[in-house]
């Protein structure tokens, strides 16, 4: 009997999770851990001390989840000791060194893995940590890749690797429109929009990720079947695998106000104060403006956004990310122009982290000025809020095209050139106050009613997909069953 119980304990589901140290990656991975825990799966999440403090409250009600903290090996790439997250880097051009530094965690994890009980039956790795495939191979467990990206963008990247499209784009002029081959819809891009994506350093890291992905067992996506079905199917065809599980929107695992407020970093505003302010506003009257946790917009461009929000004559919440390079200039402008005094009756300025899902879920919010990061995009969709799109870099350009051209639930501010990390000043101010204001008016006026109707329909599908019997709920259940079947087969062979 003891032997039987011992064998049974070894087969308990145990998933080992590796998020990359960035808010836009770490939060959805933690929410995946929460969903797994709710499904009776033990999860161990590996991160660093500073990052652990950001997700502990999110996982506080998940008894089957443990967080193991490992020191971040910043010295390996001559990074400052307190640089443990993308948003703590003095400049985003240091990101390649940061990602390389993460690979030095390998030896720590190699020592840790045999001590975990029960033995993990799989590794769930962020796509940006290709070295975790070595851990999977060493300990003979399947590696699952976690994508907090759209199928739309993933299909583009797969197309870029499989065709000569990259060469065609590079031979074009900066603003020449080129059609993407093999896409379900007619989508055009320009070289200026792909400056970041086609950067040699980014492409090389992307090649490493793709190599690890090809050696992996399957893919978990923070998306849902009803959002971009054509692109999901084409992506599966392109990679030659149907082992793709859409289990999102993962943010919907947070049901009540406290859960929504506890996501990520400590909020720079008390959630009760924020809710009281929103409660005073009319339904769908408020614009929420936030350009992401690693926003690299220069100070004069930030100021243009503030002026546009003021000129919109709508109530608004404006989240300003504080960085060393912009803080002084923006704060001086706020003080000298008496901006907050001028807008005090209809505006709320938040410096730092905001409880975004909590804000977007409030019925007073009627529009979302967003950088089109995938988390923000799917959070806006799942809350039924139409968007004003302002992509900055990487996949954000493609998310804008999905929002504006395919789903038709948003309006672009008209950004023509992707930002490059470390040289943002060279581009300067891309979008003037008038263009931002014009896009806001289109979304918030009667002209935006059809967009509002469409995004509400998507929100209803998103909520249903996460409920019992919904596609994401079933996909998660099937994923767990398949991984457990693999573990059982391996155990019987041993």
Answer for the pair 390, 371: CB distance below 8 angstroms, yes or no. yes
Read out DSSP for 410-446? EEE----S---TT-HHHH---S-HHHHHHHHHHHHSG
Catalytic residue, from 75, 87, 111, 126: name it: 126
* Per-residue CA distances from 146 to 280, 348, 483 (Å): 40, 35, 15
Cis peptide before 23 (omega within 30 of 0): no
Residue entry with tokens 């929002």: 403
* Nearest in space to 157 (alpha carbons), one of 148, 146, 166: 166
Two tokens, residue 291: 């350009």
Instruction: In whole angstroms, give the CA distance from residue 406 to residue 390.
Output: 16
The active-site residue out of 25, 87, 213, 259 is 25
126 catalytic, yes or no? yes
Cα–Cα distance, 152 to 238 (Å, whole number): 12
**Helix/strand/coil percent split, the chain, to 5:** 50, 15, 35
Q: What is the 3-state secondary structure (H, E, C) of 348-369?
A: EEEECCCCHHHHHCCCCEEEEE
Using CB atoms within 10 A of its CB, is residue 204 exposed (0-12), middle (13-18) or buried (19+)? exposed
Angle at 257 between CA 251 and CA 263, to 5 degrees: 45
CA 237 to chain centre: 24
- Token representation of residue 443: 């979304």
The CA-to-CA distance between both ends of the chain, in Å, stands at 19
CB burial readout 224-248, b (16+ within 10 A) else e = bbbbbeebbbbbbebbeeeebbbbb
Alpha helices by DSSP H, listed for 61-150, are 95-102, 106-112, 132-138
Sheet containing strand 410-412, edge to edge, reads 347-351, 316-320, 286-290, 365-370, 387-389, 410-412
362 catalytic residue (yes or no): no
Q: Which residues of 362-400 are buried (b: 16+ CB within 10 A; e: fewer)?
A: bebbbbbbbbbbbbbbbbbbbbbbbbbbbbbbbbbbbbb
In angstroms, rounded to a whole number, what is the distance separating the alpha carbons of residues 55 and 62? 12
The residues assigned a catalytic role are 25, 126
């Amino acid at each position: 009997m003891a032997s039987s119980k011992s064998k049974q304990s070894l087969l308990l589901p145990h998933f080992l999770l590796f998020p990359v140290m960035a808010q836009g990656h770490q939060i959805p991975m933690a929410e995946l851990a929460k969903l797994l825990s709710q499904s009776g799966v033990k999860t161990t999440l590996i991160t660093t001390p500073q990052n652990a403090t950001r997700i502990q409250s999110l996982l506080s009600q998940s008894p089957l989840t443990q967080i193991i903290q490992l020191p971040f090996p910043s010295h390996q790439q001559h990074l400052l000791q307190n640089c443990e997250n993308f948003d703590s880097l003095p400049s985003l051009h240091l990101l390649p060194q940061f990602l390389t530094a993460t690979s030095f965690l390998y030896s720590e994890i190699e020592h840790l893995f045999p001590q975990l009980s029960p033995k993990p039956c799989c590794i769930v790795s962020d796509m940006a940590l290709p070295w975790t495939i070595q851990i999977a191979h060493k300990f003979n467990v399947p590696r699952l890749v976690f994508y907090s990206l759209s199928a739309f963008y993933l299909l583009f990247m797969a197309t870029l690797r499989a065709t000569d499209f990259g060469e065609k784009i590079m031979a074009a002029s900066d603003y020449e429109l080129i059609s993407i081959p093999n896409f379900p819809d007619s989508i055009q891009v320009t070289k200026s929009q792909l400056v970041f994506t086609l950067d040699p350093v980014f492409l090389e890291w992307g090649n490493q990720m793709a190599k690890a992905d090809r050696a992996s067992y399957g893919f978990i996506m923070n998306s849902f079947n009803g959002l971009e079905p054509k692109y999901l199917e084409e992506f599966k065809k392109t990679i030659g695998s149907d082992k793709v599980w859409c289990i999102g929107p993962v943010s919907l695992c947070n049901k009540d106000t406290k859960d929504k407020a506890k996501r990520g970093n400590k909020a720079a505003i008390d959630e009760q104060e924020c809710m009281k302010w929103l409660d005073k506003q009319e339904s769908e009257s408020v614009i929420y403006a936030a350009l992401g946790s690693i926003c690299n917009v220069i100070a004069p461009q930030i100021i243009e956004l503030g002026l546009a929000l003021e000129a919109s004559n709508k109530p608004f919440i404006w989240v300003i990310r504080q960085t060393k390079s912009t803080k002084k200039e923006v704060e001086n402008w706020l003080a000298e122009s008496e901006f907050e005094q001028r807008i005090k009756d209809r505006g709320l300025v938040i410096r730092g982290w905001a409880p975004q899902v909590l804000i977007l879920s409030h019925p007073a919010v009627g529009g979302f000025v967003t950088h089109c990061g995938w988390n923000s995009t799917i959070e806006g969709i799942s809350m039924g809020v139409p968007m004003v799109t302002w992509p900055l870099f990487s996949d954000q350009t493609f998310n804008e095209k999905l929002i504006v051209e395919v789903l038709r639930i948003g309006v672009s501010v008209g950004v023509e050139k992707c930002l490059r990390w470390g040289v943002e000043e060279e581009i300067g101010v891309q979008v003037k106050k008038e263009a931002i204001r014009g896009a806001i008016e289109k979304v918030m006026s009667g002209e935006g009613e059809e967009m509002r109707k469409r995004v509400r329909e998507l929100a209803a599908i998103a909520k249903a997909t996460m409920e019992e019997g919904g596609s994401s709920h079933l996909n998660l259940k099937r994923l767990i069953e398949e991984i457990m079947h693999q573990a059982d087969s391996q155990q019987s062979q041993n």
